[in-house]
Amino acid sequence: MKIAIIGAGYVGLVSAAVFSKLGHKVCVVEKNKDRVANLKAGKAPFYEPNLPELLKEATKSGKLSVTDDYAQAIPNAEVIFICVGTPMLANGEPDLSYVFGAAKDIAHHIKNYCVVVDKSTVPVGTTEKVKKIIADATKLDFDVASCPEFLREGSAIENTLNPDRIVIGTDSKRARDILLEVHGKLPGERVTTDIRTAEIIKYASNAFLATKISFINEIANLCDEVGANVDDVAVGMGLDPRIGKAFLKAGIGYGGSCFPKDTKALHHMALSKDYNFKLLRAVIEVNGSQRRKFMGTIRNKLGDLNEKNIGVLGLAFKNNTDDVRESAALDIISWLTKEGAKVKGYDPEAMPNAKKALPALTTVNKAEDVAVDADAILILTEWSKFVDLNWAEMRRKVKNPVILDGRNLLNSVKMRKLGFKYYSVGRP
Ligand SMILES: NC(=O)c1ccc[n+]([C@@H]2O[C@H](COP(=O)([O-])OP(=O)(O)OC[C@H]3O[C@@H](n4cnc5c(N)ncnc54)[C@H](O)[C@@H]3O)[C@@H](O)[C@H]2O)c1
């Protein structure tokens, strides 16, 4: 089928690469001209495992093209996926201007019947507004649908090639059949439903995962009080299939471009209907307080932070990505710097983005170098390669052998044997 994708971000590019691999002809429309030029030169705009290879393969086969011109992509498209950003506004609502802007541009360029699909995460009712924007601008026949995206940064290609489920929300049988065909070669359950339900499935899923994280973080805080080990609690809980092991890792909380904004958007959506979603409000509050609590532990173990040398391992909001949006690491670094600490940071992939967000941040090219003269080493992102660093050598380089592990990544027994004072979250 002929597919147009609006927006060459994580969702748009990964979808484009995968749909091309499935044999569809895909044209990506991206407003950022630099991004288009880089993509045409074969450069992916962000780090995502296996994406560059897939993009190269798709471009070479002639299945994938990229443009900044709607006129090139839209007139022939049978299905158009809107994959633009929906960033958070100051009041917690998502900014839908990119979605509506894309809808206007689509409306001015469609020439034949097509299905316009919202893949961006949007509040209930948005896809209906997209429909109205297009209907106001054209007399041509078209349908709209909501197909929320569930990929995880860091394993996005794998998730998209092997989805757990594909949600298709539409009130048109014709659109539903087309979307079933578009996704036909992919595994995973199909959930076909109405548009509003599809829209809320995405928010409900992310809010539930965020709830698991905040829940285990509260259990971790309690473990600290009573002298229990949250890692073992999580194993003991997670083996119950009704609970499941995933998202029961205690630490400094969730970040990224989705959970913080989606939980706040769902909470805002509830309030707009006079519904006080108390559980979700608590989830959001716990997540915010978790990184502040960790900051309290740092102060507690190090005393006055002024002029203290702090080595930070991990800047991305999670491992296997270079994304630093809403990263707990960046918040903690900002607070440390405000209190006069001298921070040296390292991340395998996210240093360029971290420097854009915090231009004064000092970074080092080798993870072990954060240890030089350090008063403490912090682990703020759960990159597995940090486990295998030469910790014995790092022990020799530090001024003060303190590790504060905000991701419960390292083995406490091993670190203490090496002579470190080791502190983590909810573990003795
Ligand atoms: N990143 C994720 O892990 C993820 C996962 C699931 C769902 N989502 C949702 O998918 C949506 C997109 O997220 P993302 O992370 O891919 O965003 P992103 O910010 O990485 O990319 C969005 C892209 O759209 C482009 N764009 C904006 N307006 C445009 C327009 N009118 N025409 C053409 N291009 C335009 C931007 O320049 C940018 O390159 C969001 O709603 C997000 O919540 C994201």
Sheet holding 142-146, edge to edge: 64-67, 25-29, 2-6, 79-82, 114-118, 142-146, 165-169, 189-193
pLDDT in tens, 165-192: 999 999 999 999 999 999 999 999 999 9
CA of 210 to the centre of ligand 1 (A): 21
Q: What is the pTM (predicted TM-score) of this model?
A: 0.96
Tell me what pLDDT residue 109 has.
Answer: 97
Tell me what pLDDT residue 359 has.
Answer: 97
Ligand 1 in contact with 142 (CB < 6 A)? no
Q: Which atom of ligand 1 is nearest to the CA of 68?
A: 33
* Helix extents (H) in 303-411: 328-338, 351-357, 391-397
Residues 394, 419: contact at Cβ < 8 Å? Answer: no
Q: Which residue, by CA, sits nearest to atom 5 of ligand 1?
A: 151
CA of 122 to the centre of ligand 1 (A): 11
pLDDT in tens, 241-286: 999 999 999 999 999 999 999 999 999 999 999 999 999 999 999 9
Ligand 1 in contact with 85 (CB < 6 A)? yes
Residues 298, 336: contact at Cβ < 8 Å? Answer: yes
Token output for 251? 């630490």
Collapsing DSSP to helix, strand or coil, 88 comes out as strand
Q: Is 257 left (phi over 0), alpha (psi -120 to 50) or beta?
A: alpha
Ligand 1 in contact with 4 (CB < 6 A)? no
Give the chain's end-to-end CA distance (angstroms, integer). Answer: 56
Token output for 174? 């014709």
Q: Is 367 left (phi over 0), alpha (psi -120 to 50) or beta?
A: alpha
Q: What residue ranges define each of the domains in the chain, with the CATH number in brackets? A: 2-193 (3.40.50.720), 194-428 (3.40.50.720)
Residues 114, 78: contact at Cβ < 8 Å? Answer: yes
Tell me what pLDDT residue 17 has.
Answer: 97
pLDDT in tens, 391-421: 999 999 999 999 999 999 999 999 999 999 9
Ligand 1 in contact with 7 (CB < 6 A)? yes
Ligand 1 in contact with 74 (CB < 6 A)? no
Ligand 1 in contact with 35 (CB < 6 A)? yes
CA of 82 to the centre of ligand 1 (A): 8
CA of 257 to the centre of ligand 1 (A): 10
Radius of gyration of the chain (CA): 23
Tell me what pLDDT residue 38 has.
Answer: 95
> How many residues can be counted in the chain?
428
CA of 261 to the centre of ligand 1 (A): 13
Tell me what pLDDT residue 214 has.
Answer: 98
How far out from the chain centre does Cα 6 lie? 19
Taking the C-alpha atoms of residue 181 and residue 175, their distance in angstroms, rounded to an integer, is: 10
Active-site residue list: 258
Contacts of residue 22, defined as CB under 8 A and 6 or more positions apart, other chains included, come to: 185, 186
Weakly modelled stretches of the chain, pLDDT under 50: none
Token output for 246? 């995933």
Taking the C-alpha atoms of residue 257 and residue 263, their distance in angstroms, rounded to an integer, is: 11
Q: Which of 252, 253, 215 is nearest to 234 (CA)?
A: 215
Ligand 1 in contact with 149 (CB < 6 A)? yes
Q: Which residue, by CA, sits nearest to atom 19 of ligand 1?
A: 85
Tell me what pLDDT residue 7 has.
Answer: 98
Tell me what pLDDT residue 413 has.
Answer: 97
